[in-house]
Amino acid sequence: MPLKLLDYGRSRPFGETLGGPRNLAWRVNAYRVTLPERVSESGDDLNPFERVILKLLDAGGARDEKSLEQETCIPVDLVRFVLLRLRDNKFIDEDHKIIEEMRNKWENNAEEPTVFVTAIVFRELATGKVLPFLHQLDDDTALKKKEDEKRFPKIIGDDDGHKENPPLPRDVIFALRAMAKRSSAFGEETRFPWVEKITIAQEPEQYYLDCPIAIQKSDGEFRIADPFGNGFSLVLEHAFHCLLEQDNSLSDWLMSWKQSLSNPKLERQISEHKEPYDNSSNWGRYRKLLANLRLRDSQFRTIHKIDTAFEWALFYACAQRPYDSVISHLRLTDQSEHPDLLAAAARKIGLTPPQHGFRPVLGGKLDDFLAGKAELGTVLSIALLMAENDASHPLRHVAAKNQDFIIQLFDM
């Protein structure tokens, strides 16, 4: 029976590859969402509380916070916040009087009805990530399906735990934000709708996405093309890395493909330098770590290679364990508190904190980790917080043998 896939055209961002690309059939849940077609380009899009208070002020009635609270039944703290926001946006002055120059903006805007559109957001079912793409539906952009063109792609397995997990409005904003980053490269600006204006259907539609994968000639590593035609997909590449660590059949499939492309002469040269850990099983699970440890034309590893190997070792130590709670903990903790939080975790597992302390972990760095990037400060911070409550964590074994590990790592 032919496999039905969504048709987003051919996406081939690859440069020089070893052999030709292959295809992955990646299962996704597609959720229909409704959201405003356009958000005010002026940035002055008003919420209902602001409109109510503006109209009361314009009518010449109550002007102080207490009177507005009684008139609107809105809590006084919220009234105060709304008034401050209206003042910051120059709709009212210090005495809560309407600024005439801004009247047209909110009066005209209020008369325009909000137009809603339907779109689709996708959650891939291997690791449960929402893909950074929003498909807006209309007469010209309906979902197109295609049948497998006599090629049987590698089907990516799914996790039942992600099938009954509809996205939240913030996931839709995440997809919009990712699309906005691409648009900004072309000088375009995207405004985001209010979260409360986004509604999401709870029942998904199930599809497969056609995702080309190729082996790069430069380093022998795989890259996965974005199924929607936007370069490479960091989300799917990270998910594929996670699957390789868990699914032996997928790891064997990739290794078999690589071996079919390998140069026998080159393989003989590499085998002369093989270490005990340099085997097909580990290559399937920790390829970027082994790529930096493998000796090729030299008997020595550069400092850069060693440093990068430590980054990937810590990355894999984090990725193979549940990390969602640690990521949330770092996001919800004020960044000014991160250095003390990390120093306490280091001491608890027996490691000496660096002399000048740890740096805060920025939200963008956490996003990079979730996208499959290994950066020393980020992966070390996540590993410390994970090891703090996990006696079996590899960092615990490192601490038992070398309590100055972090200091030496930073010195290097």
Token digits of residue 280: 């097909």
Residue 369: name the closest of 357, 382, 359, 358 by CA: 382
Token digits of residue 110: 């209020």
CB atoms within 10 A of CB 279: 11
Per DSSP, what are the bridge partners of residue 22? 213
CB atoms within 10 A of CB 139: 5
| 397 vs 16: which has the higher pLDDT | 397
Across the chain, what does the average pLDDT equal? Answer: 80
Please give the average per-residue pLDDT across 46-50, as a whole number.
Answer: 77
pLDDT tens for 80-134 read 888 888 887 778 888 888 887 777 666 655 545 667 888 899 999 988 889 988 8
d(Cα 62, Cα 59) in Å, to the nearest integer? 9
Q: For the chain, give every domain's residue range.
A: 4-38+115-232, 48-111, 254-411
pLDDT tens for 364-395 read 889 888 888 889 999 999 999 999 988 889 99
| 60 vs 129: which has the higher pLDDT | 129
d(Cα 122, Cα 6) in Å, to the nearest integer? 12
pTM over 0.75: no
Q: SS3 for 210?
A: strand
Kind of pairing between the strands at 22-36 and 199-200: antiparallel
Q: What is the DSSP secondary-structure string of 356-389?
A: T-PPP--HHHHHHHHTT---HHHHHHHHHHHHHT
Rounded to 5 degrees, what angle do the CA atoms 9, 13, 15 make? 145
Percent of the chain scoring above 90 in pLDDT = 16
Measured in Å, how far apart are the chain's first and last C-alpha atoms?
56
d(Cα 315, Cα 286) in Å, to the nearest integer? 10
Start-end of H helices in 89-188: 103-111, 169-184
